[in-house]
Amino acid sequence: MNPEPAWRCEFTAAGTSGATVRQAVNVTTPTRAMIWMRTSLRTLVSGLSPTERQAAYTWLDFGQWEAMATLHAGDPYTFRTTLHGMELAWTARRVLLLPLVPHIPQNENAPTGRS
């Protein structure tokens, strides 16, 4: 059982109070990582300040191609912006997922080695 390549996608929102929100998902290709990043960013883009909103739309229109090339090269990529004083970051990076050991049900009547 060999490790499988994947891309770890993480969203982090860090507030000035020290509170942090994290969301993470594993996907199978750099393209799926970009879809996740774009979809996640689009859900928040309307709440951004006009300057940050314009930067986000510019990235959504043009910057994603640089991100895609970076991910295909195996390097991590992060897009950052701010929302009402919170630092927002979307990151995708290549990882190797280790296979899980399959669950083997135990016989209830088998000795457990406990006395």
DSSP state for residue 85 in the 8-state scheme: T
pLDDT in tens, the chain (115 residues): 688 889 999 999 998 777 788 899 999 999 999 999 999 999 999 999 999 999 999 999 998 889 999 999 999 999 999 998 899 999 999 999 887 777 677 665 655 555 5
How far apart are alpha carbons 94 and 30 in whole angstroms?
8
Q: Are 92 and 77 in contact (CB under 8 A)?
A: yes
- Left (φ > 0), alpha (ψ -120 to 50) or beta: where does 28 sit? alpha
Per-residue model confidence as pLDDT tens digits over 61-93: 998 889 999 999 999 999 999 998 899 999 999
- Left (φ > 0), alpha (ψ -120 to 50) or beta: where does 85 sit? left
Q: Are 13 and 86 in contact (CB under 8 A)?
A: yes
Which CA distances in Å does 106 have to 109, 110, 113?
9, 7, 13
**Residues with Cβ within 8 Å of residue 27, at least 6 apart in sequence:** 6, 7, 9, 33, 35, 36
Identity (one letter) of the amino acid at 46?
A: S
